[in-house]
Structure formats: structure tokens, C-alpha cells
């Protein structure tokens, strides 16, 4: 045990010794602030030691006053812990987490979280309910916006980076936030992509797909975890002892605390697991949930459960010690107050630069026919900017932006306008921009204004369409069954298409959309997610080629909603589809007979491939891969291979390639995914430049839960592919002996 650890433990023991049962239970109770007010009731609860943590109070003087009451007026002077959903920025907003994931850049994610921590901690927040590391393979689920994609390896690397960013080098520094890996576990698999719904995840899949990013967050130091709302195979997460105690603490050695989700302890009664809140408090605390967020079940019932002998006080002590450990590590006892000065009204330029960089790197170029992009103000001196998301400071920010400031936003319209004005200043031809909203919102069905968009399109040299989903269509409790563009947006696109003017579609959305119906109607397509405060400058610079797109999809894009779940790391099946077996229903002859011989695993009414695969993204240049080598060709189960490949920028512009390494274990004691991402790297390359990229792949990275669920690395052949997306076809192999 380190000295620091043992000093903390001594302090915890001393404190526990002085605490009454009521004091202890108070530490396990989390309530909400009163939005910038210190109400009598709140002051009373804090003074009486009935509350250990607060959420949703971000007014600095109020936080300090509540903290003063806790420190000076409560019996033991234990400081409060103030939490907030700081999800993708605080005042300055970064792209939604799914967008950040598209940058495939852990360091970017770390720096973004650091920036958010600096802003939030200025207001007295020292705990964020992030990162959300749920793996989501069903983008109907609104919370896909908050997740880090469909892949456990990518999400794990990014989750770890986000934890490091929030928590900083030293958790005790006043600008560090305690991170919270959520929602443990399985929430991303909510059936039908409907929020709060039940999940049914077989243990092997839980361990191979859903748990690894949590483990990565823990290994990066995440000092709190949050349970999930979902009922996992009959045992809601907030009552799930296997998860909270068996896996998290006994297998993984977690020593921080677990907080429930909002009222998820009393909701155990709604699930039908507990008869009343008292039983819910007993079940959750026994399962390993330390803090009750907003449920009041612990506050109201733990004392009685101890008195009745249904819960040992030693269990309460354990729960309290976990909370105190985090408070001590945060340095709250030494520095309970927020001494920051200055306001967040105007974030420092470095924060806007951060938001710009993150937005720029998160955008994915999905189509670019005839090199329409980048635009040049000389060739395209008249630009029609059309759509309900072109000039919406708030809608470009996305979900979970309680503290975000839309007045800081620079919209695509503003930035394109500025760029065109600058071009005219350069003395070429005056650049002109015409803006037509076209639809009131992304959901509007009213087509009255479509003719005006058609006029603008006819007038222009190129149309930039800003469509997609406004913020409210994704996020918690905001799920959809149809992922095509909502409202009359498809009709709008078709009408503009008929003018013959080239069209760039910029999609701003909280999830992958099913764009099969429109992808052929546009010449270029940029997926921008909800890019945040600096959406406009980032998009304008990408459109005009000041910078080149470098994002890659962290999640598969289906052709149509009915293909969901569709993800690259699926298992093979006994009858995989192939060009030889696939027949679209339009090609079936009249009276075709039905037989299953030779049939394969696909839908009749759409192709079996996705519209855009995981890892995909174009840029303004092209890359070639050659000379894939794996050495040595045989390794023991504790060995490492070096995978190297030469990548060349074969185009005429500089660009960034995201080099991706996939493997498959083709024959194993349990069937394995057709591909698994095991490494990735952003590689900047000048035109014509070649570089050898090397990955170290340990045999241990190939471990999977075997037939008995214990992790195994099995002897046998491993296939390796390296390339620019999950379809990479440059292949090599090695053998584990």
C-alpha cells in the first residue's frame, strides 16, 4: 500500500469513528441543488449532515455557501461533493461524444475533457457523470449520441483518455473532476433502442463487448461508477450484485464508489423486483451501490434496516469509506471552496480553439463525387446555404448542454458568409451567399418554403444543405424508430436535386442516419454530428479545403432502419451472405418458389452491407497500403507480434489517414467476430509521402471468454488486416502456439 493510500485510509477510519449512523447515511445520499439558491430546506439538510453530494448546482457563490455550511456548521465538517453532467464541454461545447469518437484521437478527447474540467471546476463542480462508455449497436437509442461508438477497443481507448482528461494529473488539483464511468452495465443494448428498456445480454457478449470499455476507464483511474437504469436479464443494474460487487470490486479491484442512476433505487419497485423502497434500499446496498442519486431510499430506510439487523453497519461503513476516499483524493477537505475568479462569459481563446479542433477532426466525409469538395470561392462564387440547421446556434450543440452557451456558437451560415466575404476582399469575384431556411425545423412536413430553396439553388453555383436532426431528437429518452431524415427533408433534397446544381449535404445529427434514400441525390456528404460551439468555422474550413476531413465512422451507418442492429464485429453465421447468394426482391421472378437450400443471412429488400461501414471516411487525397508484415510468425500466448505496413499518400494534397488494424480468430472454441479492431493510429501524410506504421499486438489482446467464461488465448491461426476501414483487405496472419 502506498503511503498516500494508507494516510487516506487512516483518515477514513478516524472519520468513521466519529460518525453517527445518521452522519454515515447522509454521505450516501445525493440530492439536487436549488438552481442558484440556498433554500432553508437545503441549508438544513446540509447542516444536519443529511447529504453527502449534490447535483445540478453550478452557481459558484451558491456552491461555496453550501460548502461553508457543510464545513463550518455540520457536526463533522465533511465537505460536499458537487456533481454535474459535464458530457461534452461545459460552457464551451465540443462535439457530442459520438462525434468526438469519430476523430479516433484519444489525445484530442483527453484535452477536450481537460478543458471541460477547467470550466466546470470554476463553478464548484468537482465530479462529472462522464464518460458514458455504453457500447451501442442500435442507433434508434437516443443516447447513442453520448456514447463512444459500437466498438469496445475504440471506446475503451477513448474512455480512458476522457477519464485522464477530467481527472487531470492530480485529482487533488482544484481544476480536476472525478470521472464517473456509466452506465454499468449493458444500457446500450436497450431492446429496440428504446430508452430505459430491458436488456438481455449473454454473459460472453457482456464480457467481450460491453464490459471492456468500463475496465479501460477503471484502469485509467475512474474513481466513480454509475449504475444503469436497465433490467439486465431479470436483475436491474442497481440491484445487480454480480456486476457491482462480483465483477467491479472482486474481479477488477475498484475502490471508488458506485452511484445509482437518478431514482434507480426506488425504481426497483417499478421494475417489480422489490416490494417497497425499504426493500429497494436493502437490495441495492447489498448489491454494492454506495450512493443513492435522488431516490431518498437510503436516507429513509438504511437506519431502520440496520436496526432490524437486515444490514450490517459494517456494510454501511464500507460504503461511506468509499465516498470519503473520493472526497479525500479530490482534496476537498483541504480546499472545499472554489477560489476561481473570473467568469465563464467569455471562454479563453484556447477553449474555442479546442472546440474548433475537435469539431474539425470529428467531421466524416462520406461522399465526394467528381471532387466537388473542396469548394473554391473562385469556382463557386454563389453559394446557397439551405436548411433548418444552417443558422441554429443551439441546435448545433446537441444533447446534454445544460451549461453550454449558444451565444458563443458560430453557425455554418455565419462562417461560410465570412469566408465568401473574405474571398471577395481578395479581389477575385465577389462571393455571394444566399440563405433559405426551407423548413421550420428538421421535423417540419410543411413544404411551403421549398420553392424558395429551389430558386436559391438555381441562382447558385453550389448548394450547401444543412440538414439532419435538431438536438431534441437524440439524447436521453429521445429515441426514434425511423432513422431516415425526418419531416420533409428528403422532399427538399429531391426538389433541389432537380435544379442540377451540385449539392453538398452536411448532416448534423446525434446518431447515424439511414441515408439510403438521399445519398444518390447529393454530390458530397459530410457527417458532422452535433459539432458544438465552433461548428461553423470547422465546417467552412473543411468545405473550402483550408483543412481536410479526417474523421472516420465510429459506428456503422445502415442503409435502412430495418437493418439495425448492423455492426462490423458480428459473428459469421453458418450461412453468410455473398454476392453469389444475394438476390434482391426486385429481381425475384414472378411466382418465384420458396426454398431454403442455398439461402443465406440477409434481408430481401435491401443489400446486406451497410451504407457506410465502421471505420470509413474519405478525405481530399487517397492512400495506398502495401507491404503488410507480421513478425514473428509464431508466438507463445504471452508473446507479442509486430505488425507493420507501409502507407502512402497517393494524392496531391496532405491528409490524415486513420490506419486501422483488425484481426480474426477463424477457428476457436467459441465462435468469434468476423473482425475485431485491435489498433488504430492517425497518420498525417504530405502528398506523396510514405510512412511505415507499426503496431505491437500482444497475444494477450486476443483473449476472449472461453466456454467456461474464463479468459483464454487459444493456440491457432490469427488473421490480420490493416487498412482504412473495417473492410480492409490487405491480409497477413500469424500463429499462437
Q: How far is CA 382 from CA 20, 426, 456, 463, in A?
A: 73, 16, 10, 9
Among residues 261, 403, 405, 665, which one is catalytic? 261
Contact between residue 462 and residue 505 where contact means Cβ atoms under 8 Å apart: no
Rounded to the nearest whole angstrom, what is the least distance from the CB of residue 66 to ligand BGC in the complex?
18
**Phi and psi of 245, rounded to 5°?**
-110, -50
Rounded to the nearest whole angstrom, what is the least distance from the CB of residue 64 to ligand BGC in the complex?
22
Q: Which long-range contacts (CB under 8 A, 24 or more apart) does 74-79 make?
A: 74/46, 74/47, 74/48, 74/49, 75/23, 75/49, 76/15, 76/18, 76/19, 76/23, 76/49, 78/15, 78/23, 78/27, 78/49, 78/52, 78/324, 78/327, 78/333, 79/327, 79/332, 79/333, 79/336
Does 129 help bind ligand BGC (rule: CB under 6 A)? yes
Does 403 help bind ligand BGC (rule: CB under 6 A)? no
What's the grid cell of residue 374? 473542396
Specify burial of residue 263 (Cβ count, 10 A radius: 0-12, 13-18, 19+): middle
Rounded to the nearest whole angstrom, what is the least distance from the CB of residue 261 to ligand BGC in the complex?
5
Contact between residue 89 and residue 100 where contact means Cβ atoms under 8 Å apart: no
DSSP for 19-57, please give it. Answer: --HHHHHHHTEEEE--SS---HHHHHHHHTT--SEEES-
- Cell match 480536476: residue? 176
Rounded to the nearest whole angstrom, what is the least distance from the CB of residue 259 to ligand BGC in the complex?
9
Write the CB contacts of 22 (distance below 8 Å, at least 6 apart in sequence). 48, 49, 50, 303
Q: Residues 457-486 vs ligand BGC: string with x where CB under 6 A?
A: -------------------x----------
Rounded to the nearest whole angstrom, what is the least distance from the CB of residue 83 to ligand BGC in the complex?
8
DSSP for 642-664, please give it. Answer: EEEEEEEE-SSS-EEEEEEEEEE
3-state secondary structure of 434: strand
Q: Which of residues 536-555 bind ligand BGC (CB under 6 A)?
A: none
Query: Which stretch of DSSP H or E encloses residue 7?
Result: helix 3-18
**Phi and psi of 155, rounded to 5°?**
-60, -35
Per DSSP, 507 falls in state: E
Does 85 help bind ligand BGC (rule: CB under 6 A)? yes
> Which of 298, 662 has the CB closer to ligand BGC?
298
> Which of 139, 569 has the CB closer to ligand BGC?
139
> Left, alpha or beta for 273 (phi > 0: left; psi -120 to 50: alpha)?
alpha
Active-site residue flag, 369: no
Number of residues in contact with ligand BGC, rule: CB under 6 A?
6
> Which of 694, 685, 692, 693 lies closest to 650, judged by CA?
685
For strands 235-236 and 231-232, give the pairing: antiparallel
Does 57 help bind ligand BGC (rule: CB under 6 A)? no
Q: Residues 490-509 vs ligand BGC: string with x where CB under 6 A?
A: --------------------
Rounded to the nearest whole angstrom, what is the least distance from the CB of residue 82 to ligand BGC in the complex?
13
Using CB positions, name the residue nearest to ligand BGC: 129
> Which of 314, 262, 324, 250 lies closest to 285, judged by CA?
314
3-state helix, strand, coil in the chain (%, to 5): 35, 20, 50
Binds ligand BGC (CB under 6 A): choice among 23, 105, 261, 470: 261
> Which of 124, 412 has the CB closer to ligand BGC?
124
> Which of 111, 182 has the CB closer to ligand BGC?
182
Rounded to the nearest whole angstrom, what is the least distance from the CB of residue 238 to ligand BGC in the complex?
11
Residue 653 bridge partners (DSSP): none
> Which of 134, 392 has the CB closer to ligand BGC?
134
> Which of 153, 183 has the CB closer to ligand BGC?
183
> Which of 128, 411 has the CB closer to ligand BGC?
128
> Which of 259, 524 has the CB closer to ligand BGC?
259
Binds ligand BGC (CB under 6 A): choice among 11, 221, 233, 262: 262
DSSP for 286-300, please give it. Answer: HHT--BEES--HHHH
Specify burial of residue 456 (Cβ count, 10 A radius: 0-12, 13-18, 19+): buried
Rounded to the nearest whole angstrom, what is the least distance from the CB of residue 404 to ligand BGC in the complex?
15
Find the length of the chain.
737
**Phi and psi of 503, rounded to 5°?**
-125, 130
Q: What angle do CA 102, 364, 104 make, to 5 degrees?
A: 25
Rounded to the nearest whole angstrom, what is the least distance from the CB of residue 583 to ligand BGC in the complex?
44
Q: How far is CA 12 from CA 5, 289, 328, 453, in A?
A: 10, 19, 9, 66
Q: Which of residues 570-589 bind ligand BGC (CB under 6 A)?
A: none
> Which of 166, 662 has the CB closer to ligand BGC?
166
Rounded to the nearest whole angstrom, what is the least distance from the CB of residue 169 to ligand BGC in the complex?
25
> Which of 110, 182 has the CB closer to ligand BGC?
182
Q: Which of residues 162-201 bind ligand BGC (CB under 6 A)?
A: 182
> Which of 595, 519, 598, 530 lies closest to 559, judged by CA?
519
> Which of 512, 535, 197, 490 lies closest to 397, judged by CA?
535
> Which of 33, 112 has the CB closer to ligand BGC?
33
Rounded to the nearest whole angstrom, what is the least distance from the CB of residue 608 to ligand BGC in the complex?
34
Q: Max alpha carbon distance in the chain (Å)?
A: 85
**Residues taking part in catalysis:** 261
- Residues of this chain that interact with ligand BGC (CB under 6 A) are 85, 129, 182, 261-262, 476
Amino acid at each position: 500500500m502506498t503511503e498516500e493510500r494508507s494516510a487516506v485510509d487512516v483518515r477514513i477510519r478516524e472519520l468513521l469513528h466519529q460518525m453517527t449512523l445518521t452522519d454515515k447515511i447522509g454521505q450516501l445520499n445525493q440530492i439536487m441543488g436549488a438552481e442558484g439558491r440556498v433554500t432553508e430546506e437545503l441549508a438544513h439538510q446540509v447542516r444536519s449532515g443529511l447529504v453527502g453530494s449534490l447535483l445540478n448546482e453550478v452557481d459558484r457563490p451558491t456552491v461555496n455557501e453550501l460548502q461553508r455550511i457543510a464545513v463550518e456548521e455540520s457536526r463533522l465538517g465533511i465537505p460536499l461533493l458537487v456533481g454535474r453532467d459535464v458530457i461534452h464541454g461545459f460552457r464551451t461545447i465540443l462535439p457530442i461524444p459520438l462525434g468526438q469518437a469519430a476523430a479516433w484521437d484519444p489525445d484530442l478527447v483527453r484535452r477536450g475533457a481537460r478543458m471541460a474540467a477547467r470550466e466546470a471546476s470554476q463553478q464548484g463542480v468537482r465530479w462529472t457523470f462522464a464518460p458514458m462508455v455504453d457500447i451501442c449497436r442500435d442507433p434508434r437509442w437516443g443516447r447513442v449520441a453520448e456514447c463512444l461508438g459500437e466498438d469496445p477497443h475504440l471506446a475503451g481507448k477513448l474512455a480512458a483518455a476522457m477519464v485522464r482528461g477530467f481527472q487531470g494529473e492530480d485529482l487533488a488539483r482544484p481544476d480536476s473532476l472525478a470521472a464517473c464511468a456509466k452506465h454499468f452495465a449493458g444500457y446500450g443494448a436497450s431492446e429496440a433502442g428504446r430508452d430505459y428498456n430491458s436488456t438481455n445480454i449473454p454473459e460472453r457478449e457482456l464480457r467481450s463487448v460491453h464490459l471492456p470499455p468500463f475496465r479501460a476507464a477503471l484502469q485509467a483511474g475512474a474513481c466513480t461508477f454509475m449504475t444503469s437504469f436497465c433490467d439486465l436479464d431479470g436483475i436491474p443494474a442497481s440491484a445487480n450484485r454480480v456486476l457491482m460487487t462480483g465483477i467491479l470490486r472482486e474481479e477488477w479491484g475498484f475502490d471508488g464508489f458506485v452511484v445509482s442512476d437518478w431514482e434507480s433505487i426506488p425504481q426497483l419497485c417499478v421494475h417489480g423486483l422489490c416490494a417497497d423502497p425499504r426493500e429497494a434500499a436493502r437490495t441495492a446496498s447489498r448489491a454494492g451501490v454506495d450512493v443513492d442519486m435522488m431516490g431518498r431510499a437510503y436516507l429513509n430506510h438504511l437506519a431502520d434496516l440496520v436496526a432490524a439487523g437486515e444490514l450490517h453497519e459494517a456494510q454501511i461503513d464500507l460504503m461511506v469509506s468509499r465516498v470519503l476516499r473520493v472526497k479525500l483524493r479530490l482534496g476537498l477537505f483541504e480546499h472545499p471552496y472554489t477560489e476561481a475568479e473570473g467568469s465563464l462569459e467569455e471562454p479563453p481563446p484556447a477553449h474555442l480553439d479546442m472546440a474548433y479542433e475537435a469539431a474539425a477532426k470529428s467531421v466524416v466525409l462520406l461522399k465526394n463525387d467528381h471532387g466537388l469538395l473542396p469548394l473554391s470561392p473562385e469556382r463557386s462564387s454563389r453559394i446557397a446555404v439551405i436548411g433548418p440547421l444552417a443558422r441554429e446556434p443551439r441546435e448545433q450543440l446537441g444533447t446534454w448542454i445544460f451549461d453550454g452557451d449558444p451565444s458563443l456558437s458560430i453557425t455554418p451560415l455565419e462562417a461560410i458568409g465570412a469566408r465568401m466575404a473574405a474571398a471577395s476582399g481578395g479581389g477575385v469575384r465577389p462571393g455571394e451567399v444566399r440563405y433559405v431556411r426551407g423548413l421550420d425545423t428538421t421535423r417540419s412536413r410543411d413544404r411551403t418554403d421549398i420553392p424558395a430553396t429551389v430558386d436559391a439553388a438555381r441562382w447558385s453555383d453550389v448548394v450547401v444543405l444543412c440538414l439532419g436532426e435538431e438536438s431534441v431528437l437524440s439524447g436521453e429518452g429521445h429515441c426514434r424508430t425511423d432513422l431516415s431524415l425526418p419531416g420533409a427533408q428528403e422532399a427538399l433534397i429531391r426538389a433541389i436535386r432537380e435544379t442540377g446544381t451540385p449539392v453538398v449535404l452536411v448532416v448534423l445529427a446525434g446518431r447515424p442516419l439511414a441515408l439510403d434514400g438521399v445519398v444518390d441525390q447529393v454530390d458530397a456528404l459530410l457527417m458532422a454530428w452535433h459539432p458544438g460551439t465552433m461548428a461553423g468555422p470547422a465546417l467552412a474550413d473543411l468545405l473550402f479545403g483550408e483543412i481536410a476531413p479526417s474523421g472516420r465512422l465510429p459506428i456503422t451507418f445502415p442503409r435502412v432502419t430495418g437493418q439495425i442492429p448492423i455492426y462490423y464485429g458480428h459473428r459469421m453465421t453458418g450461412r453468410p451472405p455473398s454476392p453469389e447468394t444475394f438476390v434482391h426482391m426486385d429481381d425475384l421472378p414472378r411466382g418465384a418458389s420458396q426454398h431454403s437450400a442455398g439461402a443465406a443471412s440477409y434481408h430481401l429488400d435491401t443489400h446486406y452491407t451497410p451504407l457506410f461501414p465502421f471505420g470509413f471516411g474519405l478525405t481530399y487525397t487517397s492512400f495506398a497500403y502495401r507491404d503488410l508484415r507480421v513478425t514473428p510468425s509464431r508466438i507463445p500466448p504471452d508473446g507479442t507480434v509486430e505488425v507493420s505496413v507501409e502507407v502512402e499518400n497517393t494524392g496531391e494534397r496532405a491528409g490524415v489517414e486513420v490506419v486501422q488494424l483488425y484481426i480474426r480468430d477463424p477457428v476457436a472454441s467459441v465462435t468469434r467476430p468476423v473482425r475485431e479492431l485491435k489498433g488504430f493510429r492517425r497518420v498525417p501524410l504530405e502528398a506523396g509521402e510514405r510512412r511505415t506504421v507499426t503496431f505491437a499486438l500482444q497475444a494477450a489482446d486476443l483473449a476472449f471468454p472461453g466456454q467456461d467464461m474464463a479468459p483464454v488465448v487459444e493456440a491457432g491461426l490469427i488473421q490480420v488486416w490493416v487498412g482504412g476501414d473495417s473492410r480492409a483487405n490487405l491480409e497477413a496472419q500469424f500463429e499462437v502456439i
